[in-house]
Amino acid sequence: MTTEKIDGVSVTTKASVYFDGKCVSHGITFPDGTKKSVGVILPATLTFNTGAPEIMEGVGGSCEYKLDGTDTWVKSGAGEQFSVPGNSKFDIRVTEAYHYICHFG
């Protein structure tokens, strides 16, 4: 089941642009103050650092990710999710644009 839209949120109009545009996201805030982001990763292999723990929920395309301390690339696509611990990092490689919702905490 893919989350195609998110209702009743406040959207930050200015995008966050990472890795020269290989990752672009917009922040959203729920009425209770919860913050998430919606974004896309374009074809690339990138390393992201986490502050808070993150859950990456795929909404289009697919990726392979490798958590810090592991040697295994795992595929994740639309309707699937994976969790990344806080204060950690993960590698992600994308060959077709991977669209996601990032849940924090």
16 in Cβ contact with 26 (< 8 Å):
yes
* 21 near a copy of itself, judged by CB under 8 A: yes
Query: What region does 89 belong to: left with phi over 0, alpha with psi -120 to 50, or beta?
Result: beta
* 3 near a copy of itself, judged by CB under 8 A: yes
Q: In the complex with a copy of itself, which residue's Cβ is closer, 26 or 66?
A: 26
Query: What region does 19 belong to: left with phi over 0, alpha with psi -120 to 50, or beta?
Result: left
Q: Which stretch binds a copy of itself (CB under 8 A): 7-15, 45-53, 65-73, 79-87?
A: 7-15
Please tell me the distance from the alpha carbon of residue 13 to that of residue 81, in angstroms, as a whole number: 26
* Region 28-67 residues binding a copy of itself, contact defined as CB under 8 A: 28-29, 38-40, 42, 59-60
Q: Which residues bind a copy of itself (CB under 8 A)?
A: 3-15, 17, 20-22, 24, 26, 28-29, 38-40, 42, 59-60, 97, 99, 101
